[in-house]
Amino acid sequence: MTLKKVVLFTVLLLGLTPALAHELARDGNVGALMHTDPDDAPLVGKPTAVFFELNQRGGKAIPLAQCRCTLQVYAGSAAPGRKPQSTGVLKQTKNELTSSVTFPVAGAYTMVLQGAPRPGFTFPAFRLSWTVRAGGSGGMDMDMNH
């Protein structure tokens, strides 16, 4: 067994899988790639830039002008009936939707991007979610529940 295989096996055995820099979530025919800045490690108490590349299946972009989109941020999980901690203001920048989110304390947060087509446009309504960890070592995990 090569040294490379031993290191990979040890990493997997210990559960030390590296965090992905960009996270994809999908709901039916709509998906988005989410990225936070700085370096996918959200800061506590400071604005964190959030970017979404929102597309229909096949790669057709969904710009903000075509979508009634909202971004809600929940401390912990986004359980039904639970009020969001904050609502992000979305803006269009090139091919991305952007927002700024401030996480008040270290811990896990759920960001939910949902939307429906504006009149005259057609794509399915969607609800996408990501779990983000602010503070500490930073990083994020994808939440497949939507």
CATH code of the domain covering residue 77: 2.60.40.1930
Q: Can you give the C-alpha Rg of the chain in angstroms?
A: 17
- Look at residue 82 and tell me whether its pLDDT is greater than 60: yes
Asked, for residue 13, whether it belongs to a domain, the answer is no
Question: Looking at the DSSP assignment, which residues form a beta bridge with residue 42?
Answer: none
Q: Which of 51, 17, 9 is nearest to 34 (CA)?
A: 51
The alpha carbon of 97 is separated from its chain's Cα centroid by a whole number of angstroms, namely: 11
Asked, for residue 50, whether it belongs to a domain, the answer is yes
Count of domains for the chain = 1
- Look at residue 9 and tell me whether its pLDDT is greater than 60: no
- Look at residue 142 and tell me whether its pLDDT is greater than 70: no
**Of 24-33, 37-46, 136-145, which one has max mean pLDDT?**
24-33
- pLDDT, tens only, 29-79: 999 999 998 788 898 999 999 999 999 999 999 999 999 999 999 999 988
Asked, for residue 96, whether it belongs to a domain, the answer is yes
The domain in which residue 42 lies consists of 21-142
Compute the Cα dihedral for 92, 39, 130, 109 and give only its sign. Answer: negative
Asked, for residue 16, whether it belongs to a domain, the answer is no
Cα angle, residue 46 at apex, residues 115 and 77 outer, rounded to 5°: 45
pLDDT tier at 23, thresholds 50, 70, 90: confident
The residue behind tokens 């999980």 is: 77
Asked, for residue 9, whether it belongs to a domain, the answer is no
